[in-house]
Amino acid sequence: GPLAIPQYGSGTLYFTSAGVAIFFPSAGPAASSGLTFITGTTFTTATSVSLPTNTFTSTYQYYKLFLTITAVTADADFTMRLRASGTDDTNAIYDNMFLGVAPDATVSNATTASNTAFNVGENDAATVRYNLALDVLCPQISAPTLIYGFYNFQKKYNTNAFGRFGVAQFRTSTVFDSLTFISSVASSITGNYKVFGYANS
């Protein structure tokens, strides 16, 4: 007769005689991946880069964002805003607390409150070393959105490399479906990003 096995299911088919067998299922189905790829792309000489509308949905509660810049046409500062229905939120309620050090033990920080965007570093045009890796918590829930993780960069004017780690928050209970990464210099950044969703169970 038929044997229905659930997706990712496994077990042992034990033959007791020719054409006669017993199926012993495993203790449970194999776990699916903890991260699911949602979206990603490359960008060239952009001023800003927005994730597609509805990147953040009710499917996942937590998200992982990776962004790498491979070229900058001029020394630039970088910021990031949360986004809903195709529009960046520019209210002055972005707080971030990122602290870090350089190889020579120089301390660097970006601790600011009540800004119109998150401060997420800078980069020198001659030596590009910018990478961003952030977890975005609860953007689709009507609660403050939290972000934590790290970014590294070459300080403007090529003076030193820095690594920062910390947390940021958007203080009001707003539902977001995307975000925007912004350069202070027009048509200046080239790179790529990838977004993943954390499995809920």
Q: What share of the chain is helix, strand, coil (3-state, %, to 5)?
A: 0, 60, 40
Distance in angstroms between the alpha carbons of the first and the last residue of the chain: 33
Q: Are 10 and 141 in contact (CB under 8 A)?
A: no
pLDDT at 16: 83
The Cα–Cα gap between 187 and 46 comes to 4
pLDDT at 49: 98
Task: Provide the whole-model pTM.
Answer: 0.83
Judging by beta carbons within 10 Å of its beta carbon (0-12, 13-18, 19+), is residue 6 exposed, middle or buried?
exposed
What digits encode the pLDDT tens for the residues 68-80?
999 999 999 999 9
Q: How large is the average pLDDT for residues 20-38? A: 74
pLDDT at 5: 80
The Cα–Cα gap between 140 and 60 comes to 8
Q: Are 49 and 187 in contact (CB under 8 A)?
A: no
What digits encode the pLDDT tens for the residues 93-140?
999 999 999 998 999 899 999 999 999 999 999 999 999 999 999 999
pLDDT at 28: 56
pLDDT of residue 6 exceeding 60, the answer is yes
pLDDT of residue 12 exceeding 90, the answer is no
Instruction: Give the C-alpha distances (Å, rounded to integers) separating 188 from 29, 31, 48, 162, 199.
Output: 48, 42, 9, 21, 35
